[in-house]
Chains A and B, each alone.
Chain A
Amino acid sequence: MNSIFSGTRLRDMIRSIRACKTAAEERGVVRKECADIRASINENDPHDRHRNLAKLMFIHMLGYPTHFGQMECLKLIASPGFPEKRIGYLGLMLLLDERQEVLMLVTNSLKQDLNHTNQYVVGLALCALGNICSAEMARDLAPEVERLIQFRDPNIRKKAALCSTRIVRKVPDLAENFINAASSLLKEKHHGVLITGVQLCYELCTINDEALEYFRKKCTEGLIKTLRDITNSAYQPEYDVAGITDPFLHIRLLKLLRVLGHGDADASDLMTDILAQVATKTESNKNAGNAVLYECVETIMAIEDTSSLRVLAINILGRFLSNRDNNIRYVALNMLMKAIAFDDQAVQRHRVTILECVKDPDASIRKRALELVSLLVNENNVKQLTKELIDYLEISDEDFKEDLSAKICSIVEKFSPEKIWYIDQMLKVLSEAGKFVKDDVWHALIVVISNASELHGYTVRALYKAVLTYSEQETLVRVAIWCIGEYGDLLVNNVGMLGIEDPITVTESDAVDVVEDAITRHNSDMTTKAMALVALLKLSSRFPSISERIKDIIVKQKGSLLLEMQQRAIEFNSIVDRHKNIRSSLVERMPVLDEATFNVRRAGSLPASVSTMAKPSVSIPNGVAAAPLVDLLDLGSDDIMAAPSSSGADFLQDLLGVDLGSSSAQSGATPGPKAGADLLMDILSIGTPSPAQNNTSSIDLLSTAGINNNPSNALDTLSSPAPPHIATTASAGGMFDLLDGLSPSPSKEATNGPAYPPIVAYESSTLKIEFTFSKPSGNPQETNVQATFINLSPNTFTDFIFQAAVPKFLQLHLDPASSNTLPASGNITQNLRVTNSQHGKKSLVMRMRIGYKLNGKDVLEEGQINNFPRGL
């Protein structure tokens, strides 16, 4: 061996690494090699560089750090010999990426090599530049590359063309400079140059409108001719792939024609013939041919309307769909999604086949098919499609059930023709895949059930039957026990029988069995158990004959290890035991849940909007004016700091959400026992969303979110003096207060303090931010700001993040946002707490930054907010 291979050779190192039996052993070998390489680098012997870098590349591939070799790449690139340069450039591309500063150091070497007399050295430099150049390098070296597009050797021309595509991607402003050079490449005969030239033109067209116009005018006909020549060309062994002459060139030409034809009827017209020819003549029994057909169909669908061509395209897709090759079917499903846009009917014809694909063993195909099916659903076929999907849900793989059930739920919600059908389908989904169903889905179901008063009996009986069979489906159990708690009497007495039902006999104790089962099952989670406990309390009043047994079950929960359950059991027990007189009114049936408000909230908006504020508080059947109700379905739990309140009574009322404008007076005037009943009622009810003033104080009885984020408040509450008129229920009332620790409790400040007008803090074409303000009483320096982010664009923003900065005299506390996904024309909210140490002297000012992802791209918006109301 010559001197380059003194010491361990690359081959030996690879052997010894491969001989390692354990990861630790491998790390040892690599460590030793790295130490040798470092030592050798320090000696600075040019003979070893070549080999060191080769070793480092191998080590790098194994995932070990190799940054110390970066400078070696630069030295090798700068050395005169071809072998050194070759490995140096390879190392550069492998060990560095465009974001590393070191890369800038290589710009000069690259420039020299681009002007090198040896064309292979020029090729190396172009390749490296094309693969990793940064925007700065692109700017610096663009003139060299542009010149090389005209180089005498085709090998350099094609590399320069692709290098240019990278340059214009990085720096779109440079696009104009390349238009002429690119169009000259389209006349080439050499396939490599032609392919890269077409690619460069495509790139320029997508970046620059001028380029698009230019190529459309000057090159459309030439490209069509090139495509015709190659389509009709005789067998050429060098370029033939499975009977197609150069499918890669075919595909690139079709792609470029696509952008040229899109939005231009004349250009589209010109290419009709050749597209028809490619679509009909291309062999479709091999992958290469199908790849060309795929591209052809894409082009046909993108160019201006030529309906006969589109029929052809849809037929090709139909053939793809019935192909036995999974790849082809996958592609067909993908493309049919686009085809729906212009020919829904044609795609509907393939519905049966597509449904079959939902059941395919291949996850990729299933996923595509499911997406496509959900686009195919309309009012006419929803029943049939849903039935098919639900039937399949029973037998599908466990890991597919989540996607499938989510899709079914969204289809059912969107297209349901009537409530009974909706309820039926949801029960089926819950029975089959209840554990995969998201909270908002079963919350919505409860809202719908609550609104369908004529179906209460039917629903509770259906649920009862379902839960006997599918007791392992958590969400089914939850909905069932909620309904049994509410409508247990309808279940037992067969009230409201529909013609389609078979009568069933359910005794009171059968119904309690179901609930008991849920509460005692070890794998029920806390939400389910808490719901079961509430259901039991309700049943104790509905079924007086077995209230002793119910009491026993409740008493058992006194020993629960869950603090929440234990407390509630104690409280409920005391209600059952000692407050029989108020019990029945306490556990009245829930008022009808407000569907519209729920939907608004579900969409992620403010818990209570202005519209509900105007409504009087909901009245419940027994005529007691119900104060704003606690909201089981509260999705956005708002945290607001508790403000110490002047009177204990107020405080308690605040906590329980009684104290809102008009109704505060009302409830204040209510005689003692009734007021107590009100309070308890609030706690036990699943309420309509409470009006804005109160939503922050609503007690999320069953919510597991935001547990105990403020326990000290709960204790404060307990120790605050209870007002005398609640004394009768003090034992219950006091304890209930304790429960507030569970919810994002704290009371809102009363209606004192000046009001501040809301402001529009920021507005761009896609996003609007509104701030509303409130001041907690007692601390003038503090301001609570509720920010509402409204998406004005038709796209969903994901990974939404809002950041704010304030000057030193302000302190800012940001609560988590209600969501990090901002649906199209939806909104999300976030609470901010600002403490102004210069209150009265300086007003608020804030700088903010909003980041989100739109179609996978990061978007950043920034702004400064100077228009805060004065005096905050």
Chain B
Amino acid sequence: MDRLMSLCVPSLNLRMHRSLIDSLEIQSCYLLSEHSCLASGFGSIHFVLLVSRQGKVRLTKWYSPYTQKERSKVIRELSGVILNRGPKLCNFVEWRGYKVVYKRYASLYFCMCIDAEDNELEVLEIIHHYVEILDRYFGSVCELDLIFNFHKAYYILDELLIAGEIQESSKKTVARIISAQDEMVEAAKEEAGSISYIIAQAS
């Protein structure tokens, strides 16, 4: 599988080197959306969506309230629009009065929905920022990493965005906080392992 991060190069529409599974292309895109239940005027990201080129959802994060039904509808509509856009087009799609910014990295489309008057270029940077952090964390990240470790992708996103706003501009800081938490989890696991080992021994 192509490494997502080969896209860390500044140009947005990169074709990455082919590796294991299929050839991945990276691209960015903005989509616009307007949704009845969205609070507008706050200038935040309404939701984040990772969709594969085949239309499979890899990550969704909703910062504005959507019902389950609306969520599937949004995903369906947006992946229809984004996956069908040709290469070299701009990375913004106007959709239901909102704006969706998308960017393709290898086989994955990273999409973020913002208000129509928000700064699309900044959202492109946020997407790239996120991908760079993922890349550092997984070490040349690819789609499979995000499938099998989807929860890690969420943890990282939660260190980057809260309430749809960016919380940290330093990749290093995010990496440090994530690894500190990972260590705590590992430590707890070892402890549990040793306890159950002791119990097993005793019985």
Contact = CB atoms under 8 A, between A and B. Distances in A.
B122 A192 contact: no
Given A192-B169, A295-B122, A326 B90 contact: yes
Secondary structure class of chain A's binding surface, majority of residues? helix
A857 B36 CA distance: 7
A54 B151 CA distance: 8
A248 B126 contact: yes
Given A162-B165, A192-B167, A206-B41, A86 B125 contact: no
B90 A249 contact: no
B119 A251 contact: yes
Contacts of A126: 162
A3 B90 contact: no
Contact of B170 (A11, A93, A239, A294): A239
A600 to B, nearest CB: 29
Nearest to A14: B148
Contacts of B75: 63
Interface stretch (A357-365, A702-710, A716-724): A357-365
Interface string B154-185: 11001000110111111111000100110011
A412 to B, nearest CB: 25
Contact of B90 (A239, A255, A330): A330
B169 A97 contact: no
A165 B161 CA distance: 12
Contact of A238 (B34, B58, B165, B170): B170
Interface centre among A57, A287, A295 (most CB of B within 10 A): A287
Interface residues of A, number: 80
Interface string B78-102: 0000000010111111100100000
A81 B169 contact: no
Interface centre among A11, A131, A364 (most CB of B within 10 A): A364
Given A57-B151, A856-B40, A192 B121 contact: no
B125 A165 contact: no
Interface in B14-45: 30, 34, 36, 38-43
A294 B62 contact: no
A58 B154 CA distance: 12
A195 interface: yes
Contacts of A383: none
A203 B43 CA distance: 9
Contact of A120 (B57, B91, B180, B189): B180
Contacts of A327: 12, 30, 90-92, 120-121, 124
A131 B162 contact: yes
B147 A97 contact: no
A836 B187 CA distance: 77
Contact of B57 (A54, A61, A858): A61
B155 to A, nearest CB: 7
A774 to B, nearest CB: 37
Contacts of B147: 14, 18
A713 interface: no
Contacts of A90: 151, 154-155, 158
Given A97-B67, A251-B122, A57 B90 contact: no
A604 interface: no
Interface string A312-339: 0000000000000011111100000000
Contact of A295 (B42, B119, B148, B171): B119
Contacts of B169: 191-192, 195, 239, 246, 248-249
Given A192-B167, A326-B89, A4 B189 contact: yes
A716 B166 CA distance: 71
A94 B172 CA distance: 26
A650 B65 CA distance: 60
Contacts of B138: none
A65 B68 CA distance: 9
A721 B63 CA distance: 69
A82 B188 contact: yes
A287 B192 contact: no
A98 interface: yes
Contacts of A858: 36
A120 to B, nearest CB: 5
Interface of A: 2-4, 11, 14, 18, 54, 57-58, 61-63, 65, 81-83, 86-87, 90, 93-94, 97-99, 120, 123, 126-127, 130-131, 155, 158-159, 162-163, 165-166, 169, 191-192, 195-196, 199, 203, 206, 238-239, 241-242, 246-249, 251, 255, 286-288, 290-291, 294-295, 298, 326-331, 361-365, 367, 853, 855-858
17 contacts: A2-B196, A14-B148, A61-B60, A86-B155, A90-B158, A99-B65, A155-B177, A195-B169, A291-B121, A291-B122, A291-B124, A326-B91, A327-B124, A330-B120, A331-B120, A364-B90, A364-B92
Smallest CB-CB A-B distances: 3 pairs: A291-B121, A326-B90, A162-B162
Given A93-B61, A327-B121, 10 more contacts: A61-B58, A63-B57, A63-B72, A97-B62, A123-B177, A163-B163, A191-B169, A192-B167, A326-B89, A364-B94
